Amino acid sequence: MRKLFLLFLVVSFGLLSISSRKGNSDPVNQLVIIANNPGPLISKDIYGHFSEHLGTCIYGGIWVGTDSRIPNTHGIRNDVLYALREIKVPNLRWPGGCFADTYHWKDGIGPPEKRASIVNTHWGGITEDNSFGTHEFMELTRLIDCDAYINGNVGSGTVREMAEWVEYLTSGSDSPMTRLRKENGREEPWKVRYFAIGNENWGCGGNMTAEFYTDLMRQYSTYLNNYGENRLYRVACGPSDYNYAWTETLMKDPGSRARFQGLSIHYYSLVDGWNNKGSATEFGEREWFRTMNSNLRMDEIIKGHKAIMDRYDPGKTKGLVVDEWGNWFDVEPGTNPGFLYQQNTIRDAVTAAVHLNIFNQHADRVHVANLAQTVNVLQSVILTSDDRMVLTPTWHVFRMFRVHQDARLLTTDLKCEEYEYQGSRITALSASASVDNEGKIHVSMANLNPGKEITVTCPVIGAAIKTVTGEILTADRMNACNTFEKPETVKTVQFRGFKMKDGVITVTMPAKSVVMLEVETK
């Protein structure tokens, strides 16, 4: 290890010295990739998604019912199913969000015509009929072939209610909940991987203090049993963005740490704060820059929470679960403000790439992440309108990055120029690299500068390059998006903007672009 590290330093500084002796003022843009010392596994669950009862995410976006004229499988839209399968969704979080702490699961089981109608008090005040409930969600996860991530109700629920939900879902023993499940048409128990003990309990989930929530979490978790071979990964409600004190409270007591396997954090990228989020499509470079700056803060937020977790859990037995992230803009004009429907541009695509690269780089601690949200809400991967569907630029990034799922993180060293706007500066490039089970290396890069092409050299250390291929996502305008009328304005194409010589790949990245390289070695 020491020899490898010294080689890494020698090569890195040697290449930088060569660049500096060229005698020009061009900035050095270099991504050194160490190919022969793979690091931690990049959990596939970092690429998870989030489906809340919010706006038309569920009703109209995912669920249309079995009698709909829209092609469906057991009431779930076929076009959405195919699109989610293609990006290999590893886990799906449901039913919220803020909705989770008002949701009582027994309202959503049994014959649809007998289910209780409820008012969605958090999102638009609409009445929904609960036609999409536990059975429908679990069928959705089966059809997508992903793990279920269920969010339990701590804010307005009870310990018994949550414990019975886990039993209903996962128990094969003879019991009232097992018999109830069978009466509702499901003989065998389901497998449930992730179960959250509340959502945002510092806010919409009850406005609790960290100390009060910690005690509740210990109580609730005690009764979330493992039935048969099913093993729950219990997710404790963690903080919002920079609230390190919340993490400290949950982590410092050994008794509390023993009651969960993952700790959630939430962070949304904003242009000018919660009171002035800005338009998703009508924006200039100022808004672009501020969004990118906000995106990059995810790295320092994770580092801050990791430092606390490392102090109390040096063996890294607890995962960081970033189960809400993404851009949050103003809703599209003319839509219900409570539905959080926003368009999706190349700016969102670069945002997705930046975040996924950050999560990859923290694979030792970040075990799960969920983009908010899947369909028609916030930074979604899919938009629907009646029987029409469009794939957003963000969807294309998730399709490109699926190659990182369950691959091994490679050590990289990125030195690059800064992107400057009106006296403020941020890094101009984002990157990560991994090696899969077949030995293929994948390098993902994003150019955050919307107005400048950047050339970066990528020395690959510890492996002989055989071939390099790539694909790219970019656009001619900062606000380019896919619409129902023009669904392929922003899409991936083959990337040819690179050269390879003597183990160094030289990549020329267009402005505002996302690039994925696949490197086969000898």
Catalytic residues: 200, 324
Separation between Cα atoms, residue 152 and residue 326, nearest integer Å? 22
Task: Collect all residues with Cβ–Cβ distance below 8 Å to 441 and sequence separation of at least 6.
Answer: 33, 35, 410, 433, 434, 435, 460, 463, 517, 518, 519, 520, 521
Given a contact cutoff of 8 angstroms between Cβ atoms, the answer to whether 471 and 498 are in contact is no
113 CA to centre of own chain:
35
The 3-state DSSP composition of the chain as helix, strand, coil percent (nearest 5) reads 30, 25, 45
263 three-state secondary structure: strand
Separation between Cα atoms, residue 21 and residue 23, nearest integer Å? 5
Separation between Cα atoms, residue 76 and residue 137, nearest integer Å? 10
169 three-state secondary structure: helix
Separation between Cα atoms, residue 241 and residue 305, nearest integer Å? 9
Phi and psi at residue 360, to the nearest 5°? -60, -45
Task: Collect all residues with Cβ–Cβ distance below 8 Å to 229 and sequence separation of at least 6.
Answer: none
Separation between Cα atoms, residue 124 and residue 112, nearest integer Å? 23
193: closest CA among 237, 146, 250? 146
216 CA to centre of own chain:
27
Given a contact cutoff of 8 angstroms between Cβ atoms, the answer to whether 197 and 234 are in contact is yes
Q: In what order do the strands lie in the sheet with 441-447?
A: 408-409, 429-435, 441-447, 513-521, 465-473, 493-494
* H or E stretch covering 425: strand 424-427
Given a contact cutoff of 8 angstroms between Cβ atoms, the answer to whether 472 and 493 are in contact is yes
Task: Collect all residues with Cβ–Cβ distance below 8 Å to 115 and sequence separation of at least 6.
Answer: 107, 108, 109, 129, 130, 131, 133
The HSE-up count of residue 452 (CA atoms within 13 Å, CB side) is: 14
